[in-house]
Structure 1
């Protein structure tokens, strides 16, 4: 297990703009690292390795906050103006619904202001140099505001609403977002509801930036999106995990294949749950062959 000392670089960065006092930082470490299995954040080649962010000027961790509640964590790329990943815990869909109209919010602390790290309504958007703003998505050219940590994974209305921050959003092909990717999110949700003890699971979703492809000359349009989950199943007395990824283009299929964490690491250089018991060589479909009869995870034969 990774020691608290080893986690300190990431945890401090997660909270460096909350308050200048050490006491507050220690308090927030306890809250934020629980988002990850055993407190271990992902390893992403060239970006985040061994809980250390390699370019701390560019990549900013955000302990997402709404109405004084910490909800999930995002690692944000201020150069490309999209998240690298968002990570959260799924403990069931207890109450609340998708807010209408969508309350798109920004993160004041990314702009080197004296803001308090809480989400805020977007005002005076021209002042935000380090993040995407709503105006960037007005001429979206076939792209949606695609969530990384989904609204539907929120336990209550506070968590659901908190996902509507532009630091949790990437430009996503409309048909990929509304079809294949939506099906994948519902597949994972169904798996977590049926096979994860106490409906408790760790979920991480990320985006791979493209080279030179932008929305309105400001926001990078990612080339690919990926998602993975890990949870403990008390019936089998074992950990379950699976991964999904697909190109951010017109979809060729209605569903993404359920793959292993090991294949995600090999193909994309992303180790989602390092130094944990999350299995790297099996999927939930391997452990539970009846999965496809319970969850809408692939085209019916």
Structure 2
């Protein structure tokens, strides 16, 4: 009888492992990854959350979130720059509080009012507005920037703290902003409209803000892959230390090599194999 129970346990474990291997963590929003292929597990933090970022009843991008460090590992989206307005209020992710709350991002004020949730409950698994108050030399750095979207709703959706890291303020307003506005526009010339897939991420650092609640990344990186009018596929990438002024432009393959060394969790693959590494 004991042998039978042991064999049953082993069989059940195998079924569970097989099941977990085929589950797509971004099942509701695979469209934000080239060929529906997200990065491999070499970027996974110890306590991850896979977020399909939803606002105004629509999905706009995907985020892998590090619950322990309270920062995004990366945000993935389609590059569609255009006019629109910024949002003045910052939002949070209700699903990181408990899974019976709305699936759409919402402000802390609204969550507290409508669902009687405390600030402590909101901030247990994610950063909150108070974490970003009174910073010196750092500010809120978008991974997925609002300027890369072409409607008010899509721009508003980037103003959630699950898309934000503490970024060096000079970098955020200087070289990184130049990369977002100018380099991305130049590199995407020749790409077919709405086929530039972007993944922007960070490497966790050794310092933090808000009494240790929120990690300050050591590096910020960006990668992109698009289909071109010539029927070819193009990719490019960039990385910078979260204190430097100069951004290093490099191939997708070189970025993956650097991230492999920086993360130390095995070979990093950011995009589908169709995206050129050289």
Q: Answer whether contact 1:261 1:280 (CA < 8 A) is retained.
A: yes
Paired position in structure 2 for 1:34: 31
- Is the aligned partner of 1:240 residue 2:238? no
Q: Answer whether contact 1:208 1:222 (CA < 8 A) is retained.
A: yes
Residues in 2 aligned to 1:84 and 1:177: alpha-carbon distance in whole angstroms: 17
Paired position in structure 1 for 2:64: 75
Q: Answer whether contact 2:141 2:165 (CA < 8 A) is retained.
A: yes
Q: 1:46 to 1:87 in 2, by over 3 A?
A: closer
Q: 1:161 to 1:8 in 2, by over 3 A?
A: farther
Q: Deviations over 1:276-299 (max 9, x none)?
A: 311100xxxxxxxxxxxxxxxxxx
Q: Answer whether contact 1:197 1:231 (CA < 8 A) is retained.
A: yes
Deviation at 1:141, TM superposition (A): 1.9
Matches within 5 A, 1:1-150: 8-11=22-25, 14=26, 29=27, 31-45=28-42, 47=44, 55=46, 58-90=47-79, 92-99=80-87, 102-123=88-109, 124-128=118-122, 129-150=124-145
> What is the SS of the residue equivalent to 1:187?
helix
Residues in 2 aligned to 1:182 and 1:38: alpha-carbon distance in whole angstroms: 28
Q: Deviations over 1:190-209 (max 9, x none)?
A: 13652211243100000111
Q: Answer whether contact 2:142 2:158 (CA < 8 A) is retained.
A: yes
Q: 1:7 to 1:231 in 2, by over 3 A?
A: farther
Q: Answer whether contact 1:77 1:84 (CA < 8 A) is retained.
A: yes
Alignment length (residue pairs) = 243
TM-score by length of 1: 0.76
Structure 1 residue ranges, 4+ long, deviating more than 4 angstroms after superposition: 5-8
Residues in 2 aligned to 1:234 and 1:195: alpha-carbon distance in whole angstroms: 6
Q: 1:258 to 1:204 in 2, by over 3 A?
A: same
Matches within 5 A, 1:240-279: 240-249=234-243, 251-253=244-246, 256-269=247-260, 270-274=268-272, 276-279=273-276
Q: Answer whether contact 1:153 1:189 (CA < 8 A) is retained.
A: no
Paired position in structure 2 for 1:220: 215
Residues in 2 aligned to 1:8 and 1:45: alpha-carbon distance in whole angstroms: 17
Unaligned segments of structure 1, at least 5 residues: 15-28, 48-53, 282-301
Deviation at 1:96, TM superposition (A): 1.3
Residues in 2 aligned to 1:144 and 1:39: alpha-carbon distance in whole angstroms: 32
Q: 1:69 to 1:145 in 2, by over 3 A?
A: same
Could you say which structure has the larger radius of gyration? 2
Q: 1:228 to 1:7 in 2, by over 3 A?
A: farther
Deviation at 1:44, TM superposition (A): 4.8
Which stretch shifts more, 219-228 or 265-274? 265-274
Q: 1:107 to 1:243 in 2, by over 3 A?
A: same
- Is the aligned partner of 1:202 residue 2:193? no
Residues in 1 aligned to 2:164 and 2:43: alpha-carbon distance in whole angstroms: 22
> What is the SS of the residue equivalent to 1:194?
coil
Q: Answer whether contact 2:171 2:245 (CA < 8 A) is retained.
A: no
Q: Answer whether contact 1:192 1:199 (CA < 8 A) is retained.
A: no
